[in-house]
Amino acid sequence: MSTSLTKGEKTRDKIIRKAAAVFNLHGYSGTSLSELMEETGLEKGGIYRHFESKEELAVAAFDYAWSEIRLRRRIALDEIPTPLGKLHGMIDGFAAKPSPVPGGCALMNTAIDADDGNPALRAHAREALREWLDYLEALVRQGIRQDEIARGVSPAAIASTIIATLEGALMISRLSDDRSALDNARKHLHTMLDGIARKAG
C-alpha cells in the first residue's frame, strides 16, 4: 500500500513548515497574513484552503516545531547509554542549540505568546511542557533504579529545575545578546547532576 502524500497533503505540510519559522520568530499576534503568504509563496486562498483560521495554522506550526525539537534531542540522546549521561547531554544540547527552528525555543516563545488569551496554543504548549517534564523525570527514575542516581532524589524537582534554568537562561541570553547566562546555566546544572550521582562505596 502506497504511503506517498497527495499534492494537497504536500502543500499543507509545506505551509506548516514555512509558517513554523514565521510564528516562532514573530509570535502569533506579530505574524501577518502577508508574511505567511510571502514565506509560503501562496495567496490567501491557497493557505485557507488547508486551514480554517490563522489559529489552526499556528497550532499546527507549533506542533511541527515541537516535533522537530523533540526528534533532534532524542536522536542525539539515543547515542548516550546511561540515564545520567542523557540528562547531561540534554543540557549540553539545549545550551548549544535550543531549537532547530529559527527563532529559538518554540516552547518558551509559544508559552509567552499564548499567555494573553490564546487557549488553543496555550494548551498545546502546556502539553509539550508536560511531555518534556515526563521525559526528564523518567530518566531520573531510571537512574535511581540503576543505582546511578542517589535514592531520595525527587525526579519532579530535578526535571523542573533543568527546564526552568535552561529556559530562563535562554531568555536572558536573548535579551542581552550574550550567551553567558546559558553557559553559566549549563555549568550549574552539570554541577547539580554531579551532586545527585550515587557515590561508589
Contact indicator for 64, 17 with CB cutoff of 8 Å: yes
Q: Is the pTM of this model over 0.85?
A: yes
Residue 61 included in any domain: yes
User: Would you place residue 2 in the very low, low, confident or very high pLDDT band (cuts 50, 70, 90)?
Assistant: very low
Is 2 domain-assigned?
A: no
- Residue spans of alpha helices (H) in 31-149: 33-40, 44-48, 54-78, 83-96, 106-113, 119-145
**Residue 32 within any structural domain of the chain:** yes
CATH code, domain carrying 57: 1.10.357.10
Question: 148 is written with which cell numbers?
Answer: 546511578
| Domain membership flag for residue 102 | yes
Domain count, the chain: 1
pLDDT, tens only, 124-182: 999 999 999 999 999 999 999 999 999 999 999 999 999 999 999 999 998 999 999 99
Residue 184 lies in a domain: yes
Q: Among 31-35, 95-99, 142-146, name the most confident range.
A: 142-146
Strand partners, 197: 149
* Residues spanned by the domain of 98: 7-196
Angstrom distance (rounded) from CA 122 to CA 58: 11
Please provide the average confidence, as pLDDT, over all residues in the chain: 92
Let me know if residue 1 belongs to a domain: no
